[in-house]
Amino acid sequence: MRRTALVVAFAAILAACGGSDDDATPSTAEPADATGRVFVGADGVESRIEDTSRIVTLSGDLTEAVFELGLGPSVVATDVTTIYPPEAVQLPVVGVGRFLTAEGVLRENPTLVLGDSQTSPLEAIEQIRSAGVPVVIFDVPTSFEALYAKAAAIGEVLGVPEEGQQLADRIESAIEGAVATATPLEPAPSVAFIYSRGPDVMLLFGEEMTSVPVIEAAGGKDAGTAAGVVGTVNVTPEAIVAAAPDVIVTTSEGLDALGGVDGLLAIPGFAETPAGQFGRILAYPEGDFLTFGPRIADLLATFIADLRTALSG
């Protein structure tokens, strides 16, 4: 509970500041040698990786990737956005990667810290680096292609490049398999992703959010992007009515905080949308829909089926 209650509050809301799809991974600056591997991260900082025996991960998708690559036993701590795999959830928590404290990380005696372009503040990152610990920063991918590149790059950073490419290939194959099962939707339905932690926090996601490629791969049209939203905006009655989504997607935790579907539809504007009129409200655990990592194909397959069921009802 301590993790899931904070996942979106500190990670998903801030995901609007994610990185570029064209430069979503660190690049190799030098080949491996006796003194380690050197990488230039998404922040332009060069890191020399000499020891991967004690890794701290600062986002849930990074944790999952490290475990998928076989280095799970080397992970000594994570941030609160890690909700999978189960063994990772039992590890010490250094806090919130988006509101990082160097002391919490250094307490775990790491030899390598993995973060992303949302990790902040910069002062904390620099303090960790000043202590002699390399911090490799990855961009936040907002497309499947950037996700594959990131998986491969994590393998490069960890010294297992073949496994990294295999992970990228597995993710791509799983996503393609899920998409292949989808019957076409004509016309493409308008799908709005709404993040909520209760009636006082209602955000419409749009361009540059990880929800967009999932919606589009399922055959939908992202309502926020179509409305010109970049990142997130506060939902107003006028805005949600104008967006006119055919389907609304939200998190299970957020829907519960609103009092269920009835609570959502009681908020001005929602009942007037096609989604509200036909009861097309889909909810998923926030750690599933908003963790853009190795498990995303599982969520996509479920969402593809649910979307078609909702539209046929």
| CA 141 and chain centroid, separation | 8
Mean pLDDT, the chain, rounded, equals 90
pLDDT in tens, 228-280: 999 999 999 999 999 999 999 999 999 999 999 999 999 999 999 999 999 99
> Residue 27: is its pLDDT beyond 60?
no
Q: What is the pLDDT of residue 5?
A: 47
Taking the C-alpha atoms of residue 175 and residue 64, their distance in angstroms, rounded to an integer, is 17
Q: What is the pLDDT of residue 23?
A: 47
pLDDT in tens, 74-113: 999 999 999 999 999 999 999 999 999 999 999 999 999 9
Residue 313: band (very low, low, confident or very high) from pLDDT cuts 50, 70, 90: confident
Q: How many residues does the chain have?
A: 313
User: Tokens standing for 65?
Assistant: 């990737």
pLDDT in tens, 157-182: 999 999 999 999 999 999 999 999 89
Q: What is the pLDDT of residue 6?
A: 47
pLDDT in tens, 179-195: 998 999 999 999 999 99
Q: What is the pLDDT of residue 105?
A: 98
> Residue 1: is its pLDDT beyond 90?
no
Give the DSSP letter string of 256-311.
HHHTHHHHHHTSTTGGGSHHHHHT-EEEE-HHHHS--STTHHHHHHHHHHHHHHHH
Residue 287: band (very low, low, confident or very high) from pLDDT cuts 50, 70, 90: confident
Q: What is the pLDDT of residue 10?
A: 44
Q: Is the pTM of this model over 0.75?
A: yes
Q: For 299, left (φ over 0), alpha (ψ -120 to 50), or beta? A: alpha
Which position has the higher pLDDT, 196 or 29? 196
Percent of the chain with pLDDT over 90: 84
Q: What is the residue type of 75?
A: V
| CA 68 and chain centroid, separation | 16
Q: What is the pLDDT of residue 63?
A: 98
State the DSSP H helix or E strand holding residue 125, giving kind and residue range, or none if neither.
helix 122-130
Residue 21: band (very low, low, confident or very high) from pLDDT cuts 50, 70, 90: very low
